[in-house]
Structure 1
Amino acid sequence: MNKVTDPMATDFRALDVLLRVYRLGSFTRAAEDLEMNQSVVSYTIDKLRGVFDDPLFVREARRLIATPRCEEVVTEAAELLERFSQLTATQDFDPKQSTETVTIACNYYERELIIPHLIHAIRAEAPKLRIEIVDSSYLGHDKLLRMEADLLIGPFVQLGAAFYARALYDDHYVCMMDPAHPMAKAALSMEEYLPLDHVYITYGGKWKSRYMQELERQGHEISIAIRTPSPAGIQTLIAGSELVATVPERLSRKLGQGLHIARCPVPTPVQIQMVWTARTHRSQMHQWVRDLVVRATRGV
């Protein structure tokens, strides 16, 4: 272990280097991002190892892995740097002049229904503000903690005191099928629903829809004919077939043109939320963006 270094010798630049290495998973990429020599990055991390009496990063199978102590330091350092940034920034956020970047993590549902309304609203009021949309998959909360996203939107729950959350609206599930489907003429019962030829959306196999969680809780299984990772293009699979897909009702308005939409016999609500952390909680810009998200979802 390195010789312990005086903590008071640590500056914000060193913490920023640590965050870049953590986020990018590479000394080389961090050096490129910071436009400095890799030797300076290595020297800075070596000094921080002495400050925190911890290796901070270890290599496993050519991957740079952060230690538990590093995870703790990064979380605190991110909040510290953000607060300092807010102290040194101008107090009044001017949407028309801001050239900052806001990164939003979400998935297909939100990109189809919410993001277009939000982008139009942002462009109208803050034309120079830059927006980056990243796929949240099932790692949305991790992306917030790793500072890979500023805001998470989707059917996620708040996970502990590290997060803030605000409910946007509730959705519910419906079944999409071809109008000529034998079951398109009457309301579906659970007994009729389960044996249908289902198109099951796996979301990459890492996240399970609420209706599937409820079916499992009740001890039921559906008959899965096709598995697909995303709702994209699902309407073309269903049209002219006896396949059935269970999707949120608001999404069916986008995907269900020409299809029959039936009530799903699994009465499970889907609550869409936005989630953020203390890093952006007090930021005027991010508060403004969150307020705009609330306004944008009123048109969904």
Structure 2
Amino acid sequence: MGETDYLALDGRLLRLFLTVFDTGSVSGAADKLDLNQSTVSNGLDRLRRIIGEPLFVRSGRGIIPTQEASRLAPLARELLAKFEQFVEAQEYRAEDESRPFVIAANDYERDILLPQLLVKLRLLAPNAPLKVLTAGAKETVLEQLRQGEIDLVLSPSIEANVDDLKQQWLFSDCDAVFYDPEVIKGPIDLAQYVALPHARVVFNYSGRSEIDEVLTGLKLEREIKLEVANFSALSSMMRGSELVTTLPSRVGISLLDKMAQQTPPISLNDINIYQFWHQAYTHSPRHRWLRELVKALAEELPMLN
């Protein structure tokens, strides 16, 4: 420990440290915190004396965190979350909430759950905005959760070996084959399924999917003729074409409601949707209230046929 006792730490100092850590710049942190640069520099000097080690070093025109700063950053985030929980009322009053609830989801999860969530929030927490972000690259989502920039991620899986995230199952779906009934007369058998051109949604990679693996096991192969970055793009692009796509069946409720759908001619696993959050917020009354609301809405989804 440095020359100052650890009790000299406070929430503002931790927030200042994390802002410099995240922006990689004293001036950027000063702008974000609405402080002058000397105040930020003095705060970093104070924290360095408490820790007893340098936290940032110059690199070119900017600064980079030391190994010690990288070790301390996740601890600082957890401490700030606990400070927030310390002052929160244990009986959470959503009607008094004014901070935005921030959720990351792609258009499938967004359209299935978030319209109903918005209705509930307008009723139960009328002063709290709902901010919906796209669930982008998994590495980005992980950092957003850790930095407290988002409250929840709705996704089938984050697919990362991390031990600081929590998850809760929300609902399941099964795949369906979608096509334009004005062009293709169904039902589609396996031979047609393989012969027809396919469209698929690709978020962050273009590797082989479960569908391709199953077809390979049958010594068959499909031909991908269209790749799009989200579910919403498929409806207009498939209309009037021979394209078929295999997606979660609930897409037919809204995004592909003009398309015909049927059970796939191959056996595929169910899709499970979860909500993910950072462990630092597990016991936060505000966060727990939001998670329970999302879970309750998922339980109200209509049963699959």
Q: TM-score, normalised by structure 1?
A: 0.85
Q: Distance in 1 between matches of 2:300 and 2:194?
A: 33
Aligned to 1:137: 136
SS at match of 2:225: strand
Conserved? CA contact 2:55–2:66, under 8 Å: yes
The alpha carbon displacement at 1:88 in A equals 2.4
Conserved? CA contact 1:5–1:47, under 8 Å: no
Q: Distance in 1 between matches of 2:4 and 2:131?
A: 38
Q: Which runs of 4+ in 1 moved over 6 A?
A: none
Conserved? CA contact 2:144–2:150, under 8 Å: yes
Deviates more, 1:172-181 or 1:68-77: 68-77
Aligned to 1:80: 79
The alpha carbon displacement at 1:29 in A equals 3.3
Aligned to 2:118: 119
Deviates more, 1:242-251 or 1:67-76: 67-76
Does the C-alpha gap of structure 1 residues 251 and 21 become closer, same or farther in structure 2, counting only changes over 3 Å?
A: farther
Conserved? CA contact 2:212–2:221, under 8 Å: no
Q: Distance in 2 between matches of 1:166 and 1:87?
A: 24
Conserved? CA contact 2:252–2:259, under 8 Å: no
Deviations 1:114-168, CA, capped at 9 Å, x for gaps: 1111111111111112322222213222321122212111111574431111100
Aligned to 2:271: 270
Aligned to 1:39: 38
Deviations 1:82-127, CA, capped at 9 Å, x for gaps: 1122212333211111222322121111221111111111111111
Matches within 5 A, 1:8-47: 8=6, 9-47=8-46
Conserved? CA contact 2:167–2:274, under 8 Å: yes
Conserved? CA contact 1:17–1:30, under 8 Å: yes
Could you tell me which runs of 5 or more consecutive residues in structure 1 were left unpaired when the two chains were aligned: none
Deviates more, 1:39-48 or 1:209-218: 209-218
Does the C-alpha gap of structure 1 residues 269 and 52 become closer, same or farther in structure 2, counting only changes over 3 Å?
A: farther
Does the C-alpha gap of structure 1 residues 6 and 152 become closer, same or farther in structure 2, counting only changes over 3 Å?
A: same
Q: Distance in 1 between matches of 2:98 and 2:155?
A: 26
Conserved? CA contact 1:188–1:263, under 8 Å: no
Q: CA RMSD in A?
A: 2.9
Aligned to 1:156: 157
Aligned to 1:110: 109
One-letter code aligned to 1:272: I
One-letter code aligned to 1:71: S
Could you tell me which runs of 5 or more consecutive residues in structure 2 were left unpaired when the two chains were aligned: none
Deviations 1:33-67, CA, capped at 9 Å, x for gaps: 3221122223323444552624446647x776555
One-letter code aligned to 2:91: D
The alpha carbon displacement at 1:217 in A equals 7.9
Aligned to 1:179: 181
Does the C-alpha gap of structure 1 residues 176 and 220 become closer, same or farther in structure 2, counting only changes over 3 Å?
A: same
Does the C-alpha gap of structure 1 residues 267 and 83 become closer, same or farther in structure 2, counting only changes over 3 Å?
A: same
Q: Distance in 2 between matches of 1:259 and 1:123?
A: 32
SS at match of 1:84: helix
Aligned to 1:253: 253
Match of 1:170 among 169, 172, 176: 172
Does the C-alpha gap of structure 1 residues 125 and 213 become closer, same or farther in structure 2, counting only changes over 3 Å?
A: farther
One-letter code aligned to 1:263: T
